[in-house]
Amino acid sequence: MTTYETLLRLAFRTPADQAQYLTPTILDAYDGFARATPRDQPFRFEQWRLGVAMSLLRLLSDLGDHDEARRAADVLHRALSTARSPQDIDKQIGKENKLFEQIYTNLYVNDEGEALLDLFAHTLDADAPDLLAQVEDEAAELAKDLNFEAKNEDDEA
């Protein structure tokens, strides 16, 4: 299993989430980039980047029951599932720009949440495959260590 697929499966842990979000298009984003012709690589790179970003936002939303992050992850999921060009991706995400800004507004997060937001920002800045692969590796390692139970314990108190 690739690091990309590991990250997706760590972010979408339940069978219901996996069935809804881990479609063939999403699961194939990294391999699609690796197989792409030079002409198709920019679009395939954007798909891979969306998959990483979507996973990070989903982890953030589950870690802190953060509705804006969950909705933003859904926007990325929709763009990854339906966009046919980098311009189409930009157009779809641009329509929801305020939602992405809200993720950082009045947000209380713990150290793990801060790390996820930092990796999300690095994902957006990654403009080369080796940079995105580095972010993906860091994200997968962080995701393995996240404590989702602490959120549930706080809710019960």
pTM attached to this predicted model: 0.91
Per residue of the chain (157 residues), give pLDDT as tens. Answer: 999 999 999 999 999 999 999 999 999 999 999 999 999 999 999 999 999 999 999 999 998 878 889 999 999 999 999 999 999 999 999 999 999 888 877 565 678 888 999 999 999 999 999 999 999 999 999 999 998 876 544 444 4
Distance CA 43, CA 21 (A): 20
Structure tokens at 83: 């966009």
**Domain of residue 57, residue span:** 3-156
Phi, psi of 97 (to 5 degrees): -55, -40
Structural domains of the chain, count = 1
Phi, psi of 43 (to 5 degrees): -70, -45
Tracing tokens 């939303």 back to the chain, one arrives at 61
